[in-house]
C-alpha cells in the first residue's frame, strides 16, 4: 500500500509538471517522475545506537579471535605431524642402516 501511494505521488508530481508546461516538457516530466519515485522509495539511513555498534564490534572481535586460535591449532597440528613423520623416517633409516651393518 505504501509503495502504491509513493508511485501515485510521484506520478501526480510528474503529471502536474506535464500539465503546467505542456506537451513539450514530457521528457522533463518523466525524468521528474523517476527522480521523485527514486527519492520516495529510497530507504533512509537509520540511527544506530552506540551499544549495538559496540556489540557488533565485539562479535567481530570474537569471531576473529576464534579464527586465529583455530588457525594456530591447525598450524601446531601440522607441525606436530611433520615432526612425527621426520622421527618415523629417521627411525626407519637407522633401522635400515643397522640391518645393513649386521649383514
The per-residue pLDDT string of the chain (103 residues; one tens digit each, 9 = 90 and over) reads 889 999 999 999 999 988 898 888 888 999 999 999 999 999 887 888 889 999 999 999 999 999 999 999 999 999 999 999 999 999 999 998 888 887 6
Q: Among all chains, which residue has been given the C-alpha cell 597440528? A: 77
8 Å CB contact between 50 and 73: no
| Confidence (pTM) | 0.46
| pLDDT at 103 (0 to 100) | 67
14 class by beta-carbon count within 10 Å (0-12 exposed, 13-18 middle, 19+ buried)? buried
DSSP structural state of residue 1? -
Amino acid at each position: 500500500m505504501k509503495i502504491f501511494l509513493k508511485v501515485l505521488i510521484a506520478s501526480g508530481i510528474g503529471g502536474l509538471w506535464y500539465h503546467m508546461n505542456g506537451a513539450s516538457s514530457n521528457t522533463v516530466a518523466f525524468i521528474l517522475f523517476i527522480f521523485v519515485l527514486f527519492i520516495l522509495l529510497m530507504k533512509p539511513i537509520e540511527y544506530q545506537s552506540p551499544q549495538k555498534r559496540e556489540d557488533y564490534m565485539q562479535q567481530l572481535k570474537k569471531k576473529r579471535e576464534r579464527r586465529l586460535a583455530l588457525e594456530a591449532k591447525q598450524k601446531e597440528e601440522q607441525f606436530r605431524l611433520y615432526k612425527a613423520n621426520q622421527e618415523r623416517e629417521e627411525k626407519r633409516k637407522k633401522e635400515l642402516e643397522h640391518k645393513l651393518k649386521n649383514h
